[in-house]
Amino acid sequence: MSNQTTLTDFVLLGFSEVREIQFLHFVVFLVIYLATLVGNLLIFMVIVFDHHLHTPMYFFLMNLSVLDLGSISVIVPKSMANSLMNTNSISYAGCVAQVFFLLFLLEADFSLLTIMAYDRYVAICQPLQYETIMNSRACVQMAAGAWISGILYTVLHTGNTFALTFCGGNMVDQFFCEIPQLLKLTCSDSYLSEVGVLAFSICLFLGCFIFIIVSYVQICKSVLRIPSEQGRHKAFSTCLPHLIVVSLFFCISSFAYLKPTSSSPSALDLVVAVLYSVSPPIMNPIIYSMRNKEMKAALRRLTGCR
């Protein structure tokens, strides 16, 4: 295991080797995964089949559901399989694929959340121009831009990470292939290039986060000028969940990638990884749909329930 040419697999050390705890981990992740699949598939189907929801906001929400389904499917099934079969290995190619798809889906997810903030800004601050600005062509181009930017960013980041030499063993202190943990195994002279990519990532995500915050500052100013209390409540109830999702996603993922990596496994690393990789896909359907009257009405129409 002296370098990446002879490295054939990695060992994931995220969860306990005690069989009872492994089974508990399998059950918990299975419940989370099934709930995420049901929630996001319902959102996707409701938006596709209900013409009342064929608007820019729900178009972006449908894309977000697809990204959430993908991101949780990249890591959770493999982790469940390892616990069920009492193994903790992942092939080198599997690790590369896991890093690539997780980075791609998370970056596209955050880009889409940024676009959704712009959509809410136009809807509330420039309502008379909303249909002109957020027309069908513009929405498709924005969504495509989010997906394409995710691919370009991920190719750069994944390629740069696995171009490094791994000579620190193959033990990854996480339940999936996470870049900060993989960097602990490298001893390549090109480590500074990865630092450069991380710095670029910070600037990219920070720029999106600042754009979102500025958008919501403008939204709040416009909402406070609404004379109707019911109108203010509706605007806040639409925008506040989105702001909460973005803030949690940005803060937790930034903490995971910017905090110093310890030389020994940490329970905090495990908790943070679960929070930014597993919790958003299951929380998004709850936050965006459970308190959304239009989504609940569309679900009733789809299922035929009163």
CATH number at residue 80: 1.20.1070.10
Q: How far is CA 249 from the centre of its chain?
A: 7
In a domain, 4, yes or no: no
Question: pLDDT truncated to tens, each residue of the chain (306 aa)?
Answer: 444 446 788 888 877 777 788 888 889 999 999 999 988 998 888 888 888 888 898 899 899 999 999 999 999 999 888 888 888 888 999 999 999 999 899 889 889 989 988 998 898 888 889 989 999 999 999 999 999 988 988 888 888 888 877 877 788 888 888 888 888 887 766 556 667 777 777 788 888 888 888 888 888 888 777 777 766 676 666 677 777 777 777 777 777 766 665 555 567 777 888 888 888 888 877 777 666 777 777 777 777 665
pLDDT at residue 191 in the model: 57
Q: Which helix (DSSP H) or strand (DSSP E) does residue 128 occupy?
A: none
Question: pTM value?
Answer: 0.85
Measured distance CA(174)–CA(258) in Å, rounded:
16
pLDDT at residue 190 in the model: 55
In a domain, 3, yes or no: no
pLDDT at residue 1 in the model: 41
Measured distance CA(27)–CA(40) in Å, rounded:
20
DSSP characters over 278-291? THHHHHHHIIIIIT
In a domain, 128, yes or no: yes
In a domain, 168, yes or no: yes
Show the domain range for 65: 9-303
In a domain, 204, yes or no: yes
Query: How many independent structural domains does the chain possess?
Result: 1
In a domain, 2, yes or no: no
pLDDT at residue 100 in the model: 94
Measured distance CA(182)–CA(177) in Å, rounded:
7
In a domain, 1, yes or no: no
In a domain, 199, yes or no: yes
